Amino acid sequence: MKDSTLFKISIVCSLIGIFILFIVSEKLDLSKSDIGSINKEMLDKKVKVKGYISSIAETPGLYIINLNDETGNITAIVFKEESFNITKGSIIEIEGKVVEYKEKLEINAEIIRI
Amino acid sequence: MFSQILIAIILGSIAGTITGLIPGIHINLVATLVLTSSLFLLKFTTPIILAIFIISMAVLHTFTNILPSIYLGAPEAGTALSVLPGHRLLLEGYGYEAITLTVIGSLLGLISIIIITPLLLLTTEVLYSSIKIYIAYLLIIVSIFLILRDPHSKIWAFISFILAGVLGLAVFGLNLDQPLLPLLSGLFGTSGLILSYKEKTKLPPQIITKESKISKREISKSIGSGLFASLICGFLPGIGAAEAAIVASSTSKKWTTRSFLVLVGSIETIVMIMSFIAIYTIDKARNGAVVVISKILETMTIDYFLLFIGASLVVAGIATILTLQIAKIFSKIITKVNYQILCLSIIILITLIVIILTGFMGFIILTISTFVGMIPALKGIERNHLMGCLILPVILFFLL
């Protein structure tokens, strides 16, 4: 087999790989949801929401944040792995899983962008 | 996300090149470093991006780790069988062609396994659940087959297997953080380097060929046999690329040096891709890198699996070009450097890495495993019997 043939195969291989990565990553990229649109059908699914903090409570292990946008509000639970510089009124973006706690929907935050 | 994936692939490819080129530095080591620093890294990225970094490193490693195996005689477990045929071509001045042949095997092997992946996704779970209870017995049968198949000395093959196995049991019993590093570095790295150093090898000028002397039919046979053996061995714990290569080589008696190198090259990459299939279908991690991925990712979804396949294809393309370019550089400089000093430098490097990462106990393991690792070469038997260091503990784990 010629080296040039091997190069051609490797380039085709890479291009197919890039195509697969592009298609799947587009699918995986979370589009932003309105807080008001989060419902029980989204339980255990990942969502991305953006809003302002209307209240924030701190416990020894986590922060409990009330996040609002123009469509509604939701509680987001942030486990304390680091300290955040967030205060009431801050605008943040949260990615996390929708869970149910005491018959209310919440988001278990995994990624926070301030 | 797409740009982050591409960055992870590039960084993983760089890491895989380094781990492949330096004997003794295994992907498991880097993967473990990623895991231990994941809390910090996850502030900047997501678990899937870290997983793609590890996948890229692992796939690229299966291409580049052949370079020290053939040019320095310092293989890892998976490339141990390539040393003799590869070194033979190197001594004839065809080191570059030897590398090209293994790269042909790796690239076409990867494409072949990806083509049959849909079939494997459908059948693996059923097949695995039906053979699960027989794994220990299958491993015993494969081990006996490998020992009896040794053409030089079955007794020494048995002794090597048991010695390596007992050594493996002792090392795993020590609860070290990195038991495999000193164990495999000694059995497959420093032992071979010491023997190369002693032989005072003089290399002829190396020829950079533009075409490998192998027919399409021979390539098809090598890839087919590699695929067959990997499917049999790939899901068995402890059984790696070296054992799969032995099983594959039994499918025919007419192996030329060149077709055997294609076979060995294909198997390591196929076994790596199969470990991704195993973690997705049966939730079993078959190597250290995949263990780390399973710890980083909470769940494996079909989308993640597709990202792994896509990343593997991209990396295979990069690895092919990169490995051949590095081989060209190696071919030019290998005859100019003092081979003895080179071997000695790598022995010192491996020893230092082992001492830094595993301490004095690691150094003791490295010394003992180096002596055990020399037995096959001194007795003229095949090196794969040393894989007893992993196979025997796994057999006992399933039996007891």
- Which residue of A lies nearest to B320 if distances are taken between CA atoms? A10
Task: Dump pLDDT digits (tens) for B91-139.
Answer: 888 889 999 999 999 999 999 999 999 998 888 878 777 776 777 787 7
B45-59, B128-142, B198-212, B246-260: segment of lowest average pLDDT: B246-260
Question: Can you give the pLDDT at residue B324?
Answer: 94
Q: How much of chain B, in percent, has pLDDT values that exceed 70? A: 91
The residue range of the domain holding B326 is 2-399
pLDDT in tens, A28-50: 766 667 888 888 888 888 888 88
Kindly state the average pLDDT of the residues B67-76: 73
- Domain tally for chain B? 1
Residue with tokens 């990229």: A29
The residue among B198 and A9 whose pLDDT is bigger is A9
B252: which 2 tokens?
A: 């025919």
A8 → chain B, closest CA residue? B317
* Predicted local confidence at residue B396, as pLDDT: 85
Q: What is the mean pLDDT of residues B160-177?
A: 89
pLDDT of residue B145 exceeding 60: yes
Q: How far apart are CA B395 and CA B388, in angstroms?
A: 10
Query: What is the Cβ-side half-sphere exposure of residue B52, based on CA atoms within 13 angstroms?
Result: 31
- B/e letters for A86-111, b = 16+ CB within 10 Å, e = fewer, are beeeeebebbbbbeeeeeebbbbbbe
Q: Note the pLDDT of residue B229.
A: 81
Q: Which of residues 57-86 of A touch B (CB under 8 A)?
A: 81-82
Q: Which residue of B has its CA nearest to A19?
A: B310
In this complex, the residue of A1, A20, A25 whose CB is nearest that of residue B1 is A25
Mean pLDDT of all residues in B374-398: 84
- Per-residue pLDDT of B24-43, as tens digits, reads 667 777 787 787 777 777 77
Between B6, B104, B309, which is nearest A1 by CB?
B104
Give yes or no for A44 touching B (CB within 8 A).
no
Residue B256 pLDDT grade (very low, low, confident, very high; cuts 50, 70, 90):
confident
- Asked whether residue B80 carries a pLDDT value surpassing 60, the answer given is no
Chains A, B: CB contacts within 8 A come to 91
Each residue's pLDDT tens digit, B334-370: 888 887 888 888 889 889 988 988 889 999 999 999 9
Interchain proximity A13–B317, CB inside 8 Å? yes
pLDDT at B115: 94
Selecting from B5, B214, B321 the residue whose C-beta is nearest the C-beta of A25 gives: B5
Subunit contact A10:B1, Cβ cutoff 8 A: no
CATH number of A35-113: 2.40.50.140
Q: Where are the domains of chain A?
A: 1-30, 35-113
A108 to chain B, closest Cα gap in Å: 14
**Residue at A37: amino acid letter:** S
Q: What is the pLDDT of residues A53-105, one digit of tens each?
A: 998 888 888 888 999 988 889 999 988 766 667 788 888 888 888 898 888 89
The beta-carbon neighbor of A3 closest among B48, B219, B324 is B324
Q: How far is A83 from chain B (nearest CA, A)?
A: 12
pLDDT in tens, A101-111: 888 899 988 88
Residue B188 pLDDT class (50, 70, 90 cuts): confident
Q: How confident is the model at residue B56 (pLDDT cuts 50, 70, 90)?
A: very high
Per residue in B282-331, pLDDT tens? 777 777 788 888 888 877 888 889 999 999 999 999 999 999 999 999 88
Taking the CA of residue B227 and the nearest CA in chain A, the distance in Å comes to 19
Q: Chain B residues with CB inside 8 Å of A27's CB?
A: 303
Between CA B361 and CA A27 the distance in angstroms is 49
pLDDT at B316: 95
Q: How many CB atoms lie within 10 A of CB A41?
A: 7
User: Which residues are paired to A73 by β-bridges?
Assistant: A68
The distance of A113 to chain B (nearest Cα, Å) reads 10
Q: Is A13 on the interface with B (CB under 8 A)?
A: yes
More reliable by pLDDT, B90 or B309: B309
Instruction: Pick the more confident residue, B249 or A34.
Output: A34
pTM for the full predicted model: 0.73
Q: How far apart (Å, rounded) are the C-alpha atoms in residues B314 and B303?
A: 17
Q: What is the predicted pLDDT for the residue at B321? A: 94
